[in-house]
A and B are shown apart, each in its own frame.
Chain A
Amino acid sequence: MFASVGDSMLSRGMKDAGNVSIHRLPDLILAIRDPWIFVGIFFLLGFFAAYMTALSWADLTYVLPATSIGYVLLAFIAKFVLHEQVTALRWFGILLIAIGVSFVASGPELTSHHSGQDPAASGPELTALQEQR
């Protein structure tokens, strides 16, 4: 349950952060009074809060690849909202990221010490962990 809530928060945060950063990059210095900057800072704070929340219950090596799904969202925003040209090479990069994220998402989110509630974290992987320690 937490995973789904967190993922939706994360994707929302990344989407907002990504969306705004497009507008942020070119006029980073000049347009400090631009309303986009305020919105951008607001959304970046939102992303940061979501990121911290996710880190409080999941491993860094889980959260970080998961946040990179934002790159994928960014590409879709660039294509459909901003009507940018997204090249084949970029779609390939996006595909690689998506595969990477699905890899990490299929695993346990925490190097676990809680008692077997999460079926993904129990079983042979958990015993391997205990042996390692």
Chain B
Amino acid sequence: MKHAYTWTAIALIVFASVTGDVLLSRAMKQVGDVGKLHRHSGLLKVMARILRNPYFVLGIVAMAVAFFSLLFGLSWGDVSLIAPASASLTFVGNAAAAKIFLHERVDRRRWIAAALVACGVVFLAG
């Protein structure tokens, strides 16, 4: 049972953080290049523009869900399982989600990068 809770938490963390990353990325693409905007209209206006973006707000909510899922998971399982498992699955999940929802061109190079980083994270926790 404990096992099931742990993996449910990992699945929740991965799902929520992938959702959050996709939403935040979409929001920032809508806002536009912050460096250029900053030079044109100043920091406060850029921040207001970001904070008013609905995708940004939803993304933050998703990130909060991911964080509380992490806390939930840590109350059931070991940090040495949950942290690397969720981090590495998030890398791979993000590559897929970015391709599907953001229409990013995830070429072989990026898949390999995501896989290498995911493996590296697992080793790092080992």
Q: Which residues of A contact B (CB under 8 A)?
A: 2, 5, 25, 52-53, 55-57, 59-65, 68, 71, 75, 89-90, 92-101, 103-104, 106-107, 111, 125, 128-129, 132-133
Contacts and interface: CB of A to CB of B under 8 A. Distances in A.
Interface residues of B, number: 40
B32 interface: yes
Contacts, number: 122
A65 B113 contact: yes
A68 B126 contact: no
Given A61-B110, A107-B110, A101 B105 contact: no
Closest 10 CB pairs of A and B: A93-B123, A100-B116, A96-B120, A97-B120, A104-B113, A93-B124, A55-B28, A60-B25, A100-B117, A56-B28
A75 B123 CA distance: 12
Given A61-B95, A100-B114, A56 B34 contact: yes
Given A65-B113, A96-B117, 7 more contacts: A5-B35, A96-B116, A98-B120, A100-B113, A106-B109, A107-B109, A111-B103
Contacts of B126: 89-90, 93
Contacts of A56: 28-29, 31-35
Contacts of B103: 111, 133
B121 A68 contact: yes
Q: Looking at A101, A111, A128, which has the most chain B CB atoms within 10 Å of its CB?
A: A111
Contacts of B35: 2, 5, 53, 56-57
A107 B107 contact: yes
B61 interface: no
B121 A93 contact: yes
Nearest to A107: B109
B115 interface: yes
A93 B119 CA distance: 7
A87 to B, nearest CB: 8
Nearest to B99: A61
Interface string B88-126: 000100110011001111110110111111011111111
A89 B115 contact: no
A71 B115 contact: no
B11 interface: no
